[in-house]
Amino acid sequence: DAGITQSPRYKITETGRQVTLMCHQTWSHSYMFWYRQDLGHGLRLIYYSAAADITDKGEVPDGYVVSRSKTENFPLTLESATRSQTSVYFCASSGTAYEQYFGPGTRLTVT
């Protein structure tokens, strides 16, 4: 199906482990984004990408790594997960940067 998908939808991991969250879109949108949403907070931008091989930091990039070798994929890696990274992670894509389309989210718990 066309659209934007995230995997896994739910993940439990231990402190110190590496975990990768996947994001895939079928629209060939240039822009892709990663946000996190914590209870009682709005969404905060972690990283974004304007095109393949172009990425830039958002508001809260520390502890995260991204790559974008293909237009349709934008994986987010937590190199050494911490409890403070327990959150709901949303991926989004946009063709123009004016209308972002969000995925269903990944709920990550770090124990």
Partner 1 sequence: DAKTTQPNSMESNEEEPVHLPCNHSTISGTDYIHWYRQLPSQGPEYVIHGLTSNVNNRMASLAIAEDRKSSTLILHRATLRDAAVYYCIRPNFGNEKLTFGTGTRLTIIP
Q: Left (φ > 0), alpha (ψ -120 to 50) or beta: where does 40 sit?
A: left
Classify strands 54-57 and 43-51 as parallel, antiparallel or unpaired.
antiparallel
Of the two residues 21 and 92, which places its CB atom closer to partner 1 in the complex?
A: 92
* Of positions 71, 72, 101, 109, contacts partner 1 by CB under 8 A: 101
- Regarding 55 and contact with partner 1 (CB under 8 A), the answer is no
Angle at 5 between CA 17 and CA 20, to 5 degrees: 15
Q: C-beta of 76: minimal distance to partner 1 in Å?
A: 15
Residues 81-100 contacting partner 1, CB under 8 A? 90, 92, 94, 97-100
Query: What number of other Cβ atoms are within 10 A of residue 89's Cβ?
Result: 23
Say which amino acid occupies 12: I
Binding site for partner 1 (CB under 8 A): 31, 33, 35, 40-45, 48, 50, 58-59, 90, 92, 94, 97-105
